[in-house]
Amino acid sequence: MWCGFGKSSATFAVTCLITASVVIADTGFAAPQRSYTPQQFRAVLRGLGYNVKVTNSALTDEETKKAIREFQTGYKLKPVDGIAGAKTQDFAANIVKILHRNLNAVVKPNPPLPRDHFYGSRTEEVVKEYQKKYQLQETGIANLALRQKVNEEAKTLFSQPTATPTATPTATPTATPTAKPTAKPTAKPTTKPTAKPMSTPTATPTATPTATPTATPTATPMSTPTATPMSTPTSTP
């Protein structure tokens, strides 16, 4: 018996209804109808905590039919006939898919579990990882109590706002400060200071001092003393 845990029928109904409502709310995980082989469906029942042996024979033995009836009763599926019809199989597929999603969020297995509806050896391994983390018996079976615990942890993780804060702060500060400061300071200081200092001081001092001192002292002293002393002493005797 998987769903009731030996409690009263009222508690049994409420507990199973809570889990059923969680599964029904996630309508994006519908599996194709009648997509299980007998062996695969028994593996799902066993993985969810029902007492069945995994074989590939028809789902008509009393043990399997009892497990199916318990599943149908727990999730309010009608009719409770012990037959794995389309509605019963689809409901089981939803539960396994949600379990895979929640385990990927909480355990973070590498590689992650596929988002399919099969309860295989890989699913058992990840369930054992979760059980080991909480020091539970490592059976690889995700019964109702374990699935509810995983579901609560996953809901907490999914409700945390991780996507929005990461995207917004990264884009804005990086683009704006880098473009503006780089363009303006580089253009202005380079052109103005280079043109003015090089043209003005070089032209003025070079032309003026060179012409003035060279012409004036050379012409005056050479013409006056040479003409006067040579003419006077020759004509007197």
**Cα(69)–Cα(67) distance, integer angstroms:** 5
pLDDT tens, 181-223?
A: 444 544 454 445 444 444 444 444 444 444 444 444 444 444 4
Q: At residue 75, does pLDDT exceed 60?
A: yes
* Mean residue pLDDT across the chain: 72
Share of the chain above pLDDT 90, in %: 52
The domain segmentation of the chain, as residue ranges, is 9-160
pLDDT tens, 146-157?
A: 999 999 999 999
Cα 138–chain centre separation: 31
Mean pLDDT of 155-172: 67
pLDDT band at 70 (very low <50, low <70, confident <90, very high): very high
pLDDT tens, 47-64?
A: 999 999 999 999 999 999
Residue 170: the pLDDT is 53
